[in-house]
Amino acid sequence: MKTSVVENFPGFPEGIHGLELAERITQQARRFGAEILQAQEVAALVQHESYQCAQNQEGKHYHAHSVLIATGASYRRLGAPGEEDYIGAGIHFCATCDGPFYKGAKEIVVVGGGNSACEESLHLTKYADKVILLARGGKLSASQILIDKVLGPHSKIDVKYHTAVEAFEGESSRLKTIRIRDLNSGKTEVLHPAAAFIFIGQQPNSGFARGFVHTDDYGYILTGHDLVHGHETAGQPEPQAFETSSAGVFAAGDVRHGSTKQVASAVGEGAAAAISIREFLKSL
């Protein structure tokens, strides 16, 4: 049996640790005989007779009895000028990963108003004297427990409501300045934080599979239990764990509905999905 890995959406964590992780995984896969096809982008999944086919942008098809979708999810961007220029150089998407680099900072900015933004703001207070939380709305949309902590009397978090980022500016290839605007008054302000962490949600890298497998309203792929409960599966065999609405097509990690969006659990899901795939192949 031959295994091919199509590197559709490289989603490893930022920084050297992510590169080391990618290299170790690649070496291990090659030791087990996996063929790795680099610089390939899957445009669509189609079915041809009894095979699943992954079609790349050039129209080439890769046929297999089973497919595992593990393309992850991408952090949403603000789209503000300068944002892309300073990712990894002052702009980050993971406080747990990159927060420690700013220990002793006077000020850190967090953008967002939901659970993730509040949780990560609280986490970043371990490293900075002050955290400025920029929310577009007039209130935070996080759980009440988190809101109470963020707005508590001893909180080190300063919340600015109705606020949008106008631009990120830097010097010597690092973020130095954030220009913000009050959406009500139109007044602008300049901040000089050590770093900015953006938490405005994620979007799954599942566009190529939509229409071929069932997804939720946000594009996350439905599997196993979630398909049986609440979605049409009448007349179809009950899907295995991590199996999608298309028999033989599985999904694991951040692209899957119900995933925890954590690297450790994504790795575990990949291993569990491989076991389900093995059982599926036995049934052919």
Q: Which of 53, 94, 158, 216 is catalytic?
A: 94
- At position 263, the amino acid (one-letter code) is V
Place of tokens 């920029």: 134
Set 98, 118, 226, 254: catalytic member: 98
The reply to whether 98 belongs to the active site is: yes
Residue 127 backbone phi and psi in degrees, to 5? -110, -25
120 and 145 Cβ atoms separated by less than 8 Å: no
Look at residues 198, 152, 155 and name the one whose alpha carbon lies nearest to residue 175. Answer: 198
97 is catalytic: yes
* Catalytic option among 53, 85, 97, 216: 97
Asked about 94 being catalytic, the answer comes back as yes
Nearest CA-CA partner of 182 in 158, 165, 162, 159: 162
CA 143 to chain centre: 21
d(CA 274, CA 279): 9
Which residues are catalytic, by number? 94, 97-98
